[in-house]
């Protein structure tokens, strides 16, 4: 029976690994895909074969899927897309769905439709890009893309929340003689208010400095590169490929991938708070060697596995002191 996410706290972003293998699936690892769940909105990064099955197994609600970001067009990152789009069609979806990726994405989708003799009853919005920059922007967050270094045109992505308003100081407001009620709300919205005695109070008199949002970066497939470091700059979480251990460095260079040590070096150089490794070569039945290699350089590292879930909390302070906001959700725990 399919499980579903319980009502999610707005203070958390859920990160769900749907596939952690590279190249080909294994008995325990699906092909690359990561879902982020933010305030009930689902973002999907890459869509390897079998992603729709993993979404069902994870309990992430496909009906809330709004955006799919494709890093590049190697088969292990896109072969799950036709099936997922068809399943959304069969479920009578009506909500628009946005796809983001390198040039050729629209042509690929039209080819799928011709070969499958189908059309979609929901609106499919396709955004192709080959330059770096923001590919999605709202009042609450944006998603930026930067070119990575792989064998074909490849992009990494970062979901970045806008700064939040500072904390409202109720005690200070009371000392200034501001009556509770509508005036509190006006100040919190950044509006100056006039008190019954004629005095004006500015928002900055009762509201602290703005508080940072979160930054989650996704870098795969790639060699370590400056643009990957910039995507991860100050990130609360960096999701980075670790296809090989460092004894296979030359093979990593040849294939355009990174070792676990190199992923840790990117996290360290970028000043990221946390690192999660993924995209493991099928030759590794166990990921402990990759995890140990990365932790030797960057201790706050986890190794993902299929259906692993992590929560990224909101910073508690004003952002001047870095916090470790990421925690792994135990298997069988409450689904956020």
Q: What is the pLDDT of residues 49-95, one digit of tens each?
A: 999 999 999 999 999 999 999 999 999 999 999 999 999 999 999 99
Question: Which domain range does residue 195 map to?
Answer: 170-205
Q: Is residue 6 part of a domain?
A: no
- Shared domain check, 228 and 191: no
CATH number, domain with residue 125: 3.60.15.10
For 171, other C-beta atoms within 10 Å of its C-beta total 8
For 153, other C-beta atoms within 10 Å of its C-beta total 15
- List the catalytic residue out of 46, 76, 236, 306: 76
CB proximity list for 55: less than 8 A, separation 6 or greater: 18, 35, 62, 65, 84
pLDDT of 336 > 60? The answer is no
d(CA 161, CA 13): 11
- Shared domain check, 77 and 34: yes
Which of 57, 69, 56, 10 is closest to 37 using CA atoms? 10
Whether this model's pTM surpasses 0.95: no
Q: Is residue 76 part of a domain?
A: yes
- Shared domain check, 183 and 154: no
Q: Is residue 134 part of a domain?
A: yes
DSSP letter at 22 equals S
On whether the CB atoms of residues 98 and 109 are closer than 8 A, the answer is: no
* For the chain, percent of residues with pLDDT exceeding 90: 77
46 is catalytic: no
Token look-up 């992505």 returns 157
Q: How many domains does the chain have?
A: 2
- Shared domain check, 130 and 62: yes
Q: Is residue 4 part of a domain?
A: no
Which of 142, 140, 144, 184 is closest to 164 using CA atoms? 140
- Return the structure tokens found at 314: 């909101």
Q: Is residue 1 part of a domain?
A: no
pLDDT-derived band at 10, boundaries 50, 70, 90: low
pLDDT of 112 > 70? The answer is yes
Q: Is residue 3 part of a domain?
A: no
- Shared domain check, 217 and 311: yes
- Shared domain check, 104 and 26: yes
Of the residues 184, 205, 226, the one at which a domain ends: 205
What digits encode the pLDDT tens for the residues 71-84? 999 999 999 999 99
Q: Three-state SS for 83?
A: helix
- Shared domain check, 281 and 312: yes
- Shared domain check, 175 and 152: no
Q: Is residue 108 part of a domain?
A: yes
Q: Give me the sheet containing 141-147, strands edge to edge.
A: 133-137, 141-147, 155-161, 215-219, 237-241, 275-278, 301-303
d(CA 67, CA 52): 14
pLDDT at 125: 97
d(CA 295, CA 274): 11
For 291, other C-beta atoms within 10 Å of its C-beta total 17
- Shared domain check, 126 and 201: no
- Return the structure tokens found at 163: 């700064």
- Shared domain check, 182 and 214: no
- Shared domain check, 257 and 187: no
For 203, other C-beta atoms within 10 Å of its C-beta total 17
For 193, other C-beta atoms within 10 Å of its C-beta total 17
Q: Is residue 298 part of a domain?
A: yes
pLDDT of 2 > 50? The answer is no
- Shared domain check, 104 and 201: no
């Amino acid at each position: 029976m399919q499980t579903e996410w319980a009502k999610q706290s707005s203070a958390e972003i859920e990160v769900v690994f749907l596939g952690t293998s590279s190249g080909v699936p294994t008995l325990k690892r699906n092909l690359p895909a990561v879902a982020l769940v933010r305030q009930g909105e689902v973002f999907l990064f890459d869509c390897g074969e079998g992603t729709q099955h993993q979404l069902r197994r994870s309990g992430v609600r496909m009906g809330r899927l709004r955006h799919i970001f494709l890093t590049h067009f190697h088969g292990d990152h896109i072969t799950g897309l036709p099936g997922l789009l068809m399943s959304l069609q069969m479920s009578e979806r009506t909500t628009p769905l946005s796809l983001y990726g390198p040039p050729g994405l629209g042509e690929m989708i039209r080819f799928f439709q011709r070969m499958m003799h189908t059309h979609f009853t929901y609106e499919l919005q396709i955004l192709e890009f080959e330059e770096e920059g923001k590919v999605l922007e709202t009042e609450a967050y944006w998603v930026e893309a930067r070119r990575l270094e792989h064998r074909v045109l490849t992009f990494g992505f970062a979901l970045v929340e806008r700064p939040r308003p500072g904390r409202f100081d109720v005690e200070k407001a009371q000392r200034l003689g501001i009556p509770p009620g509508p005036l509190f709300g006006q100040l919190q919205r950044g509006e100056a208010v006039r008190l019954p005695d004629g005095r004006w109070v500015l928002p900055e008199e009762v509201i602290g400095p703005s508080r940072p949002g979160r930054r989650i970066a996704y870098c795969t497939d790639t060699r370590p590169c400056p643009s990957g470091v910039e995507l991860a700059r100050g990130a609360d979480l960096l999701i980075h490929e670790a296809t090989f251990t460092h004894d296979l460095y030359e093979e990593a260079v040849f294939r355009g991938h990174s070792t676990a040590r190199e992923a840790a070096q990117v996290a360290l150089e970028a000043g990221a708070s946390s690192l999660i490794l993924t995209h493991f070569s099928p030759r590794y039945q166990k990921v402990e060697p990759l995890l140990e290699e990365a932790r030797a350089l960057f201790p706050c590292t986890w190794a993902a596995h299929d259906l692993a879930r992590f929560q990224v909390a909101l910073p508690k302070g004003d952002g001047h002191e870095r916090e470790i906001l990421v925690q792994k959700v135990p298997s069988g725990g409450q689904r956020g």
